[in-house]
């Protein structure tokens, strides 16, 4: 199987071993491209490799997130969600459809303002917004318009 981690330039010591299970999990995250939960990754991988266990999925997702090979973007609606895109970016969570969207934004000005000798020493920053996505907002506005 082609080593999917090579394209991410992940130093091998970070992962210690690049196993077939880790390659399958990474491939699933990439192919699902939906900020998947461990359960969603398990369903996807187990359809192709029925012998893989949930414990293997959960353990490897955790280890891969700790190593920096993937991101654990947070706990939304009771489950951790994972992202194969590891560059700095923000997320928007729709409160209606529960979809998670990526967006690029430069918060360096804010970071520079709070990272000063007399304030904070920021080691990391994860930014998530929530509200209604465009599709859900349109549906809500249409429903409200029909009620009038």
Nearest-angstrom CA–CA distance, 141 and 23: 43
Nearest-angstrom CA–CA distance, 29 and 35: 7
* CATH level 3 topology of 88-148: Dna Ligase; domain 1 (3.30.1490)
Nearest-angstrom CA–CA distance, 105 and 113: 16
Q: Say whether domain 1-85 belongs to CATH 3.40.50.720.
A: no
The predicted model scores a pTM of 0.76
Residues carrying CATH 3.30.1490.190, the chain: 88-148
Residues carrying CATH 1.10.10.10, the chain: 1-85
Residue by residue, pLDDT tens for the chain (148 residues) are 444 444 454 444 456 678 889 999 999 999 998 899 999 999 999 999 999 999 999 999 999 999 888 999 988 888 999 999 988 889 999 999 999 999 888 888 888 888 888 888 888 778 889 999 999 999 988 888 787 7
């Amino acid at each position: 199987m082609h080593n999917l981690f090579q394209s991410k330039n992940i130093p091998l010591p970070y992962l210690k071993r690049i196993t077939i299970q880790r390659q399958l999990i990474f491939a699933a995250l990439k192919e699902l491209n939906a900020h998947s939960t461990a359960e969603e990754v398990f369903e996807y991988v187990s359809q192709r490799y029925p012998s893989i266990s949930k414990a293997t999925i959960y353990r490897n997702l955790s280890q891969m997130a700790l190593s920096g090979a993937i991101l654990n973007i947070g706990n939304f609606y009771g489950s951790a969600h994972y992202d194969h895109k590891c560059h700095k970016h923000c997320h928007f969570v729709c409160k209606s459809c529960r979809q998670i969207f990526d967006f690029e934004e430069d918060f360096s000005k804010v970071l520079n303002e709070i990272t000063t000798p007399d304030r904070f020493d920021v080691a990391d920053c994860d930014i998530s917004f929530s509200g209604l996505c465009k599709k859900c907002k349109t549906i809500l506005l249409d429903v409200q318009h029909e009620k009038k």
